Amino acid sequence: MKFQTPAGHNPIDRMSVVGQPLDRIDGPLKTTGTAPYAYEQHDAAPDAAYGHVVGAGIAKGRIRRLDIKAAERAPGVLAVITADTAGPLEVGPHNTVPLLGGPEIRHYHQAVALVVAESFEAARAAAGRVRIEYEAHAGAYDLEAARTTATAPEANAQMGEPDTQVGDFLGAFADAPVRLDETYTTPDQSHMM
């Protein structure tokens, strides 16, 4: 899809939508706290359980000790699932690393446990009781430093062939009628969770 020409006469170009004070059909319900949310529809699944993921607190390393006893004893908790208790969770076409980390940690906030409880609040509170001791390993966390050694991703069924073409940025930038030369950095990179 290329955006080199105007899309035509539309509400966005007429500025009749963006930045305008439009009434939202759900506005009064949401602002008064009376809007029905899917989370509150217990009639569809009356005995639903709720989960809260416990993410790794390091980006790379190993779990030395994972203590779930306090979480298991918390009110409303039905189960605490870890890589040890879940059994083998193989990688597949949609998950490239095991769904539950342990003992190896491959990225920050990788799921290392799942607390299942009678309510979301109980699951979240119990997740805070999981205690983890790590053996942190050195990792590569600077995208700019790794740029020269980065490898191209392989083709896959979902994404097809990767677009890795590199053009002449400096030449195009020098010839551009308008130039904006700023540096923006991202403090964190979103991982699999």
Distance CA 48, CA 117 (A): 9
**pTM exceeding the 0.85 threshold for the entire prediction:** no
Q: Where are the alpha helices (DSSP H) in 88-185?
A: 120-127, 143-146, 169-175
Q: Which domains does the chain have, with CATH numbers?
A: 45-136 (3.90.1170.50)
Q: What is the pLDDT of residues 130-177, one digit of tens each?
A: 999 999 999 887 878 888 888 877 887 777 888 777 889 999 999 999
Going by C-alpha positions, the residue among 160, 61, 67 that lies closest to residue 107 is: 61
> Does residue 191 have a pLDDT over 70?
no
Q: What is the pLDDT of residues 50-86, one digit of tens each?
A: 999 999 999 999 999 999 999 999 999 999 999 999 8
